[in-house]
Amino acid sequence: MDMQRLTRTALPLTALTLLPLLAACGTESGSGSGSGSVGSGTTKASVTGVRWAVDSLTVDGKTAQAPGGAYLKIADDGEVNGNYGCNTFGSTAAFEDDGIDFEAARSTEMACGDAPMKFEESFARALDAEKFTAETTDGGLTLTTADGDTVKLSEEKPAELYATKWRVDSLLDHDVASSLPEAAEGKAWFTLDKKAGTVNGSLGCNEVSARATVSDDKITLGNPRTTRKMCSDSLMATERALLEVFKGTVEYRIDHRSITLTSENNVGIGAVADK
């Protein structure tokens, strides 16, 4: 398959589940309670326990919008997990007087397109290098450094299986996840319609629809119907890979606003809910 040749390589999916454990093995300073204030009258309790979607990052006066799927969650004990916009990471946070200090993070190393990787590098560098004050508003959080750089976040509610537009961001082959080719990024998606019992979406080039029967943690898919456009080789290769998912029954797993569909022969897709 025509995957991008980037310096990073895909890691096994099992590595994603280890990150919270890695974070927990960090320094115990992350569990410090400090004074309970993390800046601007904001308390530690109002920041922790919430999954915050990253909206934007402003560094040196330049603002970049976050890729879909970027998030940050801080547990009450200081354990941190999140996604930079491509890769998942784990860390710890120390709650100090009037601020939050993030420890060095451990992350997966999946390759993505230039835009999400550029954001990821900036976001990871900012979290690692700076201490932040926090300010919460109704459903929002702003982290600000002493230099005035900011991370804007908003509270992220869990996505529902049905009626959510799931945007495909990775291909799964046994325990390995690979990003879509750059030409296909943001173009492949699907939505499940409970009342109609169908799945509809795009393969990145052509539209697709099929019957879909959900039972427990599995979805049985009927023969797919697609349009017949011809696109670039990269898009058509992605399309063929996505169609592999439509061969019978897939197991689905939802993690807040991410979903994986895995077929019986251990290939599948990963997707995130549109904001």
Tell me, what's the pLDDT at 28? 39
- The fraction of the chain above a pLDDT of 70, given in percent, is 85
Which pLDDT score, from 0 to 100, does residue 15 have?
43
| Maximum Cα–Cα distance across the chain | 62
* Backbone conformation region of residue 122, classed left if phi is above 0, alpha if psi is from -120 to 50, else beta: alpha
Contacts 24+ apart (CB under 8 A), 261-268: 261/219, 262/172, 266/172, 266/173, 266/174, 267/171, 267/172, 267/173, 267/174, 267/241, 268/171, 268/172
Q: Which residue has the tokens 């459903």?
A: 139
Report CA-CA distances (Å) from 105 to 101, 161, 226, 246: 12, 31, 43, 37
Residue 9, pLDDT score: 37
Residue 97, pLDDT score? 76
β pairing state of 71-74 and 79-83? antiparallel
Task: Quote the pTM value.
Answer: 0.62
Q: What is the pLDDT along the chain (275 residues), one digit of tens a residue?
A: 333 323 333 444 444 434 443 444 443 334 444 446 676 668 888 999 999 999 999 999 999 999 988 999 999 999 999 999 889 999 999 998 778 999 989 999 888 888 889 999 999 999 988 789 999 988 999 999 989 999 999 998 899 999 999 999 999 998 888 888 888 988 999 999 999 999 999 999 999 999 999 999 999 999 999 999 999 998 999 999 999 888 899 999 998 889 999 998 899 999 999 87
- How big is the chain by its Cα radius of gyration, in Å? 20
Distance CA 19, CA 47 (A): 21
What are the pLDDT digits (tens) for 143-166? 999 899 999 999 988 999 999 999
